[in-house]
């Protein structure tokens, strides 16, 4: 079916070795034979078989970007940035979506290693930590957003200060006079989930409120999705005594919260204040612009790509961490009590 290097060789009347030299331009071939080979390549429509090539060379030019939610613009913007940087180095980015399913994460990572990818940028589910720690010794790896704090892990991390960011958001509400402040958080087995909740708790402690498992205004959802935001908001709005403000710990869930409130004619910020950890795409066009803590996917993507490149150069180097400091952007979604 597909033309192989042999077909080209036969067509050009040379050996496969020469063809190989030409298509990889290793040099040492007379210019007229180069031309003969090139013509033959065109003629038989030859495309080198990557499988076979990698089998020999023990390398691909593939970088895997494995993410938990391909519909979240936070990640797609990151993907854009990463791709543009890697492409300059002749590397090809491949995006894989785990949908936060640990099994899919394993699948994708297995495939990456099986393809002999040159590196991986991973937004992990945090459910395969041991396995990933082992993997990190075999392939250059950079984690984004969610960290793995295991001494065995070898690689870099780029994320944001979720503790400080959520603390700032919460303090902002406190300064506006709020006390009955709710939080919609998610999967606490992720580093981000824990950190952000801790930031909230720390801020609440300053006004003498303990946020524990029994804190009435706390909702721990399973995922970080819009649907989970809806569910969390529904729960909170169903309470006998409603909170006056909600802290939502990621952008997608905030959208869910906004939609629930809008669909149920609950006004922001008149009836309830809302703050979000992380930018929401196009939120400057929203009826009520959310107050949020900035998260910069371009920044994170750029750092991650560069860390990975330097790690590919020196795979054994020590772990590095880059933490983005979110800024508080105050908009219309919070009112003074």
Partner DNA sequence: TTGTACGCGTTATCAT
Partner DNA sequence: ATGATAACGCGTACAA
Judged by the rule CB under 8 A, the positions of this chain that interact with its own copies are 1-2, 45, 47-52, 54-55, 60, 70-71, 73, 76-77, 79-80, 83, 87, 92-97, 99, 104, 107-108, 110-111, 113-116, 134, 138, 255, 258-259, 262, 280-282, 284-287
Of the candidate spans 10-18, 74-82, 266-274, 281-289, the one that interacts with DNA by CB under 7 A turns out to be 10-18
> Rounded to the nearest whole angstrom, what is the least distance from the CB of residue 45 to DNA in the complex?
12
Kindly tell me which of 26 and 282 has the beta carbon lying closer to DNA.
Answer: 26
State whether the Cα torsion 49-55-60-62 is positive or negative.
positive
**Which residues fall within 8 angstroms of residue 95, CB to CB, at 6 or more apart?**
65, 67, 70, 79
Q: Which does 80 bind (CB under 5 to 8 A by kind): its own copies, DNA, none?
A: its own copies
Question: Closest Cα partner for 155 from 301, 308, 300, 324?
Answer: 308
Q: Which does 46 bind (CB under 5 to 8 A by kind): its own copies, DNA, none?
A: DNA
For residues 74 and 95, give the distance between their C-alpha atoms in angstroms, rounded to a whole number: 14
> Rounded to the nearest whole angstrom, what is the least distance from the CB of residue 271 to its own copies in the complex?
16
The token pair that represents 202 in the structure block = 């720390």
Residue 166 has φ and ψ, to the nearest 5°, of -70, -35
Kindly tell me which of 32 and 284 has the beta carbon lying closer to its own copies.
Answer: 284
Judging by beta carbons within 10 Å of its beta carbon (0-12, 13-18, 19+), is residue 119 exposed, middle or buried?
A: buried
Which of 48, 102, 164, 315 is in the footprint of DNA by CB under 7 A?
A: 48
Kindly tell me which of 115 and 202 has the beta carbon lying closer to DNA.
Answer: 115
Q: What part of residues 54-73 is at the interface with DNA (CB under 7 A)? A: 55-57
Measured distance between the N- and C-terminal CA atoms of the chain, rounded to whole angstroms: 73
Does 41 help bind DNA (rule: CB under 7 A)? no
Does 177 help bind DNA (rule: CB under 7 A)? no
For residues 333 and 254, give the distance between their C-alpha atoms in angstroms, rounded to a whole number: 11
Does 39 help bind DNA (rule: CB under 7 A)? no
Kindly tell me which of 49 and 189 has the beta carbon lying closer to its own copies.
Answer: 49
Does 4 help bind DNA (rule: CB under 7 A)? yes
Answer whether 312's CB lies under 8 Å from 140's CB. yes
For residues 219 and 214, give the distance between their C-alpha atoms in angstroms, rounded to a whole number: 10
Does 29 help bind DNA (rule: CB under 7 A)? yes
Kindly tell me which of 9 and 91 has the beta carbon lying closer to its own copies.
Answer: 91
Does 110 help bind DNA (rule: CB under 7 A)? no
For residues 263 and 194, give the distance between their C-alpha atoms in angstroms, rounded to a whole number: 30
In the 3-class helix/strand/coil scheme, how is 71-97 assigned residue by residue?
CCHHHHHHHHHHHHHHHHCCCEEEEEE
Of the candidate spans 21-29, 91-99, 215-223, 309-317, the one that interacts with DNA by CB under 7 A turns out to be 21-29
For residues 234 and 243, give the distance between their C-alpha atoms in angstroms, rounded to a whole number: 12
Which of 35, 42, 43, 49 is in the footprint of DNA by CB under 7 A?
A: 49
Residue 57 has φ and ψ, to the nearest 5°, of -80, -15
> Rounded to the nearest whole angstrom, what is the least distance from the CB of residue 40 to DNA in the complex?
12
Say how many CA atoms lie within 13 Å of 75 toward its Cβ: 23
Does 267 help bind DNA (rule: CB under 7 A)? no
The residue ranges that bind DNA (CB under 7 A) are 2, 4-6, 13-18, 20-21, 23-24, 26, 28-30, 33, 46-49, 52-53, 55-57
């Amino acid at each position: 079916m597909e033309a192989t290097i042999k077909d080209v060789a036969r067509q050009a009347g040379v050996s496969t070795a020469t063809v190989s030299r030409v298509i990889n331009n290793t040099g040492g071939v007379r210019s007229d034979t180069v031309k003969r080979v090139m013509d033959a390549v065109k003629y038989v429509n030859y495309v080198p078989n990557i499988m076979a090539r990698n089998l020999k060379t023990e390398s691909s030019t593939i970088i895997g970007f494995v993410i938990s939610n391909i519909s979240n613009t936070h990640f797609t913007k990151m993907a854009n940035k990463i791709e543009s940087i890697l492409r300059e180095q002749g590397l090809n980015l491949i995006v894989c979506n785990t949908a936060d399913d640990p099994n899919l994460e394993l699948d994708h990572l297995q495939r990456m290693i099986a393809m002999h990818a040159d590196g991986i940028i991973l937004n992990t589910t945090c459910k395969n930590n041991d396995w990933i720690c082992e993997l990190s010794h075999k392939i250059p790896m950079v984690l984004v957003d969610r960290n793995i704090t295991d001494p065995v892990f070898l690689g870099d991390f780029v994320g944001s200060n979720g503790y400080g960011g959520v603390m700032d958001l919460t303090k902002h509400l406190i300064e506006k006079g709020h006390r009955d402040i709710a939080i919609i958080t998610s999967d606490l087995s992720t580093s981000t989930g824990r950190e952000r909740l801790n930031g909230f708790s720390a801020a609440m402690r300053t006004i003498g409120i303990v946020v524990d498992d029994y804190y009435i205004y706390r909702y721990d959802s399973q995922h970080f999705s819009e649907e989970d935001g809806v569910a969390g908001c529904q729960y909170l709005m169903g309470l006998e005594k409603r909170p006056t403000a909600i802290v939502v710990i990621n952008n997608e869930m905030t959208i869910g919260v906004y939609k629930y409130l809008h669909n149920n004619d609950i006004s922001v910020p008149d009836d309830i204040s809302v703050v979000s950890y992380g930018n929401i795409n196009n939120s400057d066009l929203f009826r009520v612009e959310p107050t949020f803590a900035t998260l910069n996917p371009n920044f994170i993507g750029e750092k991650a790509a560069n860390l990975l490149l330097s790690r590919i150069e020196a795979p054994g180097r020590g772990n590095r961490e880059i933490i983005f400091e979110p800024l508080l952007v105050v908009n219309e979604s919070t009112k003074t009590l």
